[in-house]
Amino acid sequence: MEKHKIIKIIKKIDLNKNRKLNFSIKLSKYIANPKDYINLEIFSNEDAEFTISVVDEAIFALANNNFDFEKKLYPQIYYPEMIIDTSNKYFYYYPRAALPISKNIMASTKAANSQKANTREFFPDTALWIPSIITKNGYAKITFKNPDSITSFRVTVNGVSKKSVGTKITKYVSTKDFYIRPILPKFAIKGDSFVVPVIIYNKNNIDLKVNYSINSEINISPQSGNIEIPKNLTKILKLKFETNEAGEYNILFNFDKDIVKLPFTVYDNKLKRHEKEIIQSNKGNVFNINSLIYENINELLKYPYDCTEQTVSSIFPAVLNGYTDIQSNIYRLYKYQNNDGGWVGGQMINQIHI
């Protein structure tokens, strides 16, 4: 540095860099029948790693889906802060070995391949999930089996290369010219008697007369017959169910051009069934409300509260009730404590009074 001179070095960083991955996707079918095989092709200007999901469009209607893949990886920070800090606080680490191991299963592999050729019985919300597929020379192709659902599916492909990210979305319709939709309740109780509507859709340009049969160990009437459905219209067939015995059942709705197989559960009297479970859980003791309340309070005391206020609020009642297993709570407070003796509150602000 020369005398009486200040040297300033400036490095320009482009925060508005274009990170869009240039790729496209193509389906072999945009209108498919149940059990059809569909090809999905990916064309990319550079090799990248992609994730693929095929999900029932109705799932996205349940909640707003504003997920932006690029913004999630590269969020806009208007006022960035650089913080350099050290700490000598005690850190209590929960061993990962204690966590349960989950088993991931792809929806449209084993279950889809085990279906019968002419029976619709596989109705997953997620038709396909592939966590990783890498293009070679900018190209990749996969083939998947369309489930038995009559619905629209959303195909989402997220891609990441060394310099770029991107998302492409397309949709396809799974349908038939003729199909049925039985509206079964979630379950029944032994002795129930109720009516199940079967909605019959005829999307053909001709009237149809269809023979039907209902096969199950449950008492259902009528069990067979025929019904006429005008062209491009729907009709409802009402079936009477009588559940005389508890158990797990399969019900086969055979309408010639469309066959649907659905599982159905009939429970015993529910109150007696749960009372029996409670008696067994108390090692044969007669059920009483006090033991049930005590067990639930213990569950609340063991609940893994995380923030400072919730940790403190669980320690005090635990001590007052003679509960001694509070070591993990104490270690968590050690972890949150600052050098000045205060604790970090819910908004990450130092609160000495806590």
CA distance 171 to 320: 58
| Amino acid at residue number 249 | Y
User: At residue 279, does pLDDT exceed 70?
Assistant: no
pLDDT for position 200? 97
Question: Concatenated DSSP letters for 233-269?
Answer: EEEEEEEEEE--S-EEEEEEEE-SS-EEEEEEEEES-
- The predicted pLDDT at position 276 comes to 46
Q: How confident is the model at residue 71 (pLDDT cuts 50, 70, 90)?
A: confident
What domains, with CATH codes, occur in the chain?
23-174 (2.20.130.20), 178-267 (2.60.40.10), 278-351 (no CATH)
Which band of pLDDT confidence, cut at 50, 70 and 90, is reported for residue 301? Answer: low
CB 135 within 8 A of CB 47: yes
Exposed/middle/buried for 235, CB within 10 Å: 0-12, 13-18, 19+? middle
Interhelix angle 308-320/327-336, nearest 10 degrees: 150
pTM for the complete prediction? 0.65
